[in-house]
Structure 1
Amino acid sequence: GGIWWGMGAAILFFGLAFLCCWAMALVGLGYAVSVLWRGRGQRWVRADGSPFARLVLPAPAFLRFDRALAVGAFLGDLWLVSAVVVLGADGIFTEDWMGYPGMMDPAGQGYQAQMVGLLRSAAWWSGAAALLGRCWTTAVVQLSVLPLSALWVASFDTYYGQ
């Protein structure tokens, strides 16, 4: 009884994240834009300290924007990982916690490798963009959540024995 409840809860979580997180990520991005708009009259760069300290330690208004953007990015990452898991659970991944995923998908042999590549490249591109924008919290989120998710997806057993 307990193992079946756990499998159902995991699939329910990823299914709901797949269905809802894209909307929550858009709301988070909208909130980050509103924080950016509300702080437009405030300083974005500290006025005191060495140039290196001013670069590394942004002003409080910019830190609020960075935190809001990090939450939106995390929700977007959760949606992306959920999409990979939910779409792969339909005949590609054979993990015990997914239950019986159905018949083998003959077109899905490269799915796992493609999704791992997608998660890694999304991490590097979004992390690099966050670093260029001095959004340190967002960069940490992007460079930790997506690569760890890629490792997790790469560890899944598939029908193809990859």
Structure 2
Amino acid sequence: MGFGMFFFGFAFLVGWAAAGAALVYALVVLVRIWPRHWVRRQGHPAVRLLVPTPAYLRLDVVLAMSALLVDLWLVSAAIVFGSDGVFTEDWMGYPGMTDPSGQGYQAGVVSALRTVAWWTSGIAALCRCWTTVGVQVCVLPLAASWIGTFDTYYT
């Protein structure tokens, strides 16, 4: 078993706890900054809308880190479940028996990761969480492209 597979297996097994803790911490930060101003008071209306206040920027950074942990967990889950007879990458080790139900797995994972990326980045853009938008637009589509390059038993 290679180091890469160990990393993704560990991220899958422990990542849900880290992502859950990060989301709880983001909720705590949200509750703490709730009474503060969310929009700047001075300046041009476009600047007031686009540039968040320092408290809101702190929430955005916490949400971006939470999104990064959730993204890592999603990608790890896709790789771990795909290593059981779908993907044939060298760094995964012996993948075991060929899973006939895995023919559409790779395309489904790529589509799901891209869909999650665009929905979450769209919601973050509506909430003016620009750092979170950047994380979602960078991490998940690149991970989907990377998973799309894996060799499978069916291609």
TM-score relative to the length of structure 1 = 0.93
Quick check: 1:91 aligned with 2:96? no
Q: Which runs of 5+ in 2 are unaligned?
A: none
1:138 matched residue in structure 2: 132
Distance 2:42 2:17 in 1: 40
The correspondence for 1:149, drawn from 127, 140, 143, is 143
Deviation at 1:158, TM superposition (A): 0.1
Match of 1:120 in 2: 114
How many residues are aligned here? 155
Displaced runs of 4 or more, over 6 A: none
Partner residue of 1:158 out of 142, 152, 155: 152
8 Å contact kept, 2:3–2:91: no
Conserved? CA contact 2:38–2:53, under 8 Å? yes
Q: CA deviation at 1:59?
A: 0.2
Alpha-carbon deviations, 1:61-84, whole Å to 9, x = none?
100000001111100000000000
Q: Is the deviation greater in 16-25 or in 114-123? A: 16-25
Between 20-29 and 126-135, the greater mean CA deviation after superposition: 20-29
Residue 17 (structure 1) aligned with residue 23 (structure 2): no
Moved more, 146-155 or 35-44: 35-44
Deviation (angstroms), 1:27? 0.8
TM-score w.r.t. length of structure 2: 0.98
Q: Name the counterpart of 2:37.
A: 43
Shift of 1:41: 2.0
> What is the aligned counterpart of 1:61 among 18, 33, 55?
55
In the alignment, the residues of structure 1 paired with residue 35 and residue 113 of structure 2 have an alpha-carbon distance, to the nearest angstrom, of 37
1:8, CA displacement in angstroms?
Answer: 2.1
Compute the RMSD of aligned alpha carbons: 0.8
Distance 1:149 1:30 in 2: 25
Supply the distance in 2 between the matched residues of 1:27 and 1:153 (Cα, whole angstroms).
27
The sequence identity of aligned pairs, in percent, is: 58
The Cα offsets for residues 28-87 of structure 1, whole Å up to 9 and x where unpaired, read as 111111111111221111111101101111000100000001111100000000000000
SS of equivalent to 2:102: coil
